[in-house]
Amino acid sequence: MEGCVFCKIARGETPTRFVYEDDLVVAFDDISPQAPLHTLIIPRTHYESPSDGLPPELMVALWSAIPAVAAAKGVAESGYRVILNVGRDAMQSVRHMHVHVLGGRPMSHGMLNFRD
């Protein structure tokens, strides 16, 4: 999608170090982290939300990337939180679907109210 910052990152138009990548998704660290580890996993193709009719292989790629990111960032054993915000009321600020992987410290219930 024209003008989408996450599409530009996925296409390599914005210099970004990928934590993880495959043919369908890329993962990179959030520029405004809400925890010591805050990595985003996005589809290479623009989808605003799961309501856009995601292909099953993309869902598999997204969910397979989560433990890979946790392992690469060293939180697979200690634990991590996974969040997917959908729409304005959920505070989805970038209209390109993305999964947050957070960790590196004990999480609190208050973390459920963070903005993305």
What CATH number is attached to the domain comprising 106? 3.30.428.10
What is the pLDDT of the chain when averaged over all its residues?
A: 92
Q: Are strands 37-43 and 25-29 parallel, antiparallel or unpaired?
A: antiparallel
Total domain count for the chain? 1
C-beta neighbour count of 11 within 10 angstroms: 11
Q: How far apart are CA 76 and CA 71, in angstroms?
A: 5
pLDDT of residue 2: 80
Domain that holds residue 53: 5-113
Provide the annotated active-site residues: 98
pLDDT of residue 17: 97
Q: pLDDT band for position 102 (50/70/90)?
A: very high
